[in-house]
């Protein structure tokens, strides 16, 4: 290829930090004379304008400061702008909806804990106090109570989606297993939370639940003894249920949701069963092997290492 001489780029269009400093004695701007780009400088800004500009830039500067130390923007960009398979639809929002329900439960739960007393003699009256006297208490309690059912319904719908779309197959088996543990933990949250108002209904329903647990094979009797925390359901049962409901299970759920999300981002999501895999544009047996079919004649458009595979139904939405 013949090479053409590069045209000289006019000084005015080069940003100041990239300009070459003039060699000493080679001319440059004569003493006492303003450089050419300053001669036609725009109107000088007042002190107030400068302050306003600084205030506008402050959040960006602060984020930049944090990002320089965390290097999180690469991760966030990868997560938020990742490719999704063709055919992605509303059913794929059920996982995020479950996550949202969990966040609502955690938030409302924190506020309820500020007023709730986990004692056999005061639990009932503290709930009555929340409902009748605390500002917005009944609203927050209602959100938490109904939110628990919403979360259970959503988690089942989400599990159904992943099952019917074949998302439990290779390479996502581990994420399915984590999901199963999340399901058990969510049910544990609903079960342990039910006793906390300590009214007649929650008391007798918990006895029924504990007895059902006791009928399980091998571990059943031990599990019901552990849950009851004594020969009869009473004050120690309430404390135990509260500790499980407040500390143990939420901590485990948060950790497992983190692992679940990590795998979703790393492996990508599965294409719906009705989306057929396209043949790679370039016939390359290696690319086909790498694409990792999921056992039902389609692939999700990502290799196991997360890289999108050309022509494998990985169009973004
Ligand atoms: C707290 C409970 C859960 C949360 C917050 C959650 C959240 C999510 C989210 C946001 C996604 C990505 C978007 C989507 O496909 O909907 C996802 C994917 C997935 N989840 Fe869950 N999930 C939970 C429970 C479960 C359960 C109970 C199972 C199954 C037993 C499960 C299995 C999966 C699988 C296999 C995927 C990958 C889907 C794919 O590749 O298309 N998850 N989850």
115 CB-near residues (< 8 Å, 6+ apart): 126, 129, 130, 134, 137
Q: How many whole angstroms from 21 Cα to the centroid of ligand 1?
A: 57
Cross-strand pairs, 308:
302
Residue 102 CA: nearest ligand 1 atom is: 1
Between CA 46 and CA 51 the distance in angstroms is 9
pLDDT tens, residue by residue, 127-174: 999 999 999 999 999 999 999 999 999 999 999 999 999 999 999 999
Reported pTM:
0.75
Can you give the pLDDT at residue 106? 98
- pLDDT above 90 for 241: yes
**Cβ of 89 below 6 Å from ligand 1:** no
Q: Tell me the two tokens of residue 257.
A: 């949701």
Q: How many whole angstroms from 225 Cα to the centroid of ligand 1?
A: 32
Confidence of residue 73 (pLDDT cuts 50, 70, 90): confident
Range of lowest pLDDT (37-51, 78-92, 190-204): 37-51
- pLDDT above 80 for 12: no
Q: Which protein residue's CA is at the shortest distance from atom 5 of ligand 1? A: 99
Can you give the pLDDT at residue 102? 98
Q: Which protein residue's CA is at the shortest distance from atom 2 of ligand 1? A: 182
Confidence of residue 251 (pLDDT cuts 50, 70, 90): very high
Between CA 103 and CA 261 the distance in angstroms is 14
**Cβ of 158 below 6 Å from ligand 1:** yes
Q: Which of 103, 162, 253 to mutate to test ligand 1, by most ligand atoms within 8 A of the CB atom? A: 162
Q: What is the number of other CB atoms lying within 10 angstroms of the CB of residue 238?
A: 21
Three-class SS state of 166: coil
**Cβ of 103 below 6 Å from ligand 1:** no
């Amino acid at each position: 290829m013949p090479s053409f001489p590069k045209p000289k780029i006019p000084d005015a269009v080069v940003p100041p930090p990239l300009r070459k400093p003039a060699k000493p004695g080679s001319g440059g701007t004569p003493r006492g004379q303003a450089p050419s780009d300053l001669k036609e400088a725009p109107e000088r800004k007042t002190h107030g304008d400068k302050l306003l500009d600084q205030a506008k830039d402050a959040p960006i500067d602060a984020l930049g400061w944090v990002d320089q130390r965390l290097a999180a923007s690469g991760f966030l960009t990868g997560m938020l702008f990742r490719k999704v398979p063709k055919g992605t639809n509303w059913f794929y929002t059920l996982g995020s909806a479950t996550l949202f329900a969990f966040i609502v439960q955690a938030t409302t739960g924190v506020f309820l804990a500020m007023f709730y007393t986990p004692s056999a003699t005061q639990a009932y009256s503290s709930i009555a106090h929340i409902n009748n006297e605390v500002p917005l208490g009944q609203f927050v309690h209602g959100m938490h109570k109904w939110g628990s059912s919403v979360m259970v319904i959503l988690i089942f719908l989400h599990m159904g989606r992943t099952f019917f779309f074949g998302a439990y197959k290779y390479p996502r088996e581990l994420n399915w297993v984590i999901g199963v543990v999340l399901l058990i933990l969510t049910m544990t949250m609903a079960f342990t939370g039910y006793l906390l108002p300590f009214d007649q209904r929650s008391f007798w329903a918990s006895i029924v639940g504990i007895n059902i647990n006791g009928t399980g094979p091998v571990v059943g009797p031990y599990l019901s003894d552990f849950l009851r925390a004594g020969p009869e359901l009473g004050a120690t049962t309430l404390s135990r249920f509260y500790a499980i409901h407040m500390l143990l299970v939420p901590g485990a759920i948060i950790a497992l949701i983190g692992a679940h999300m990590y795998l979703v981002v790393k492996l990508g999501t599965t294409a719906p069963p009705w989306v057929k895999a396209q043949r790679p544009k370039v016939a390359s047996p290696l690319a086909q092997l790498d694409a990792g079919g999921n056992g039902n004649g389609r692939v999700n458009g990502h290799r196991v290492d997360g890289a999108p595979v050309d022509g494998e139904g990985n169009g973004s939405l």
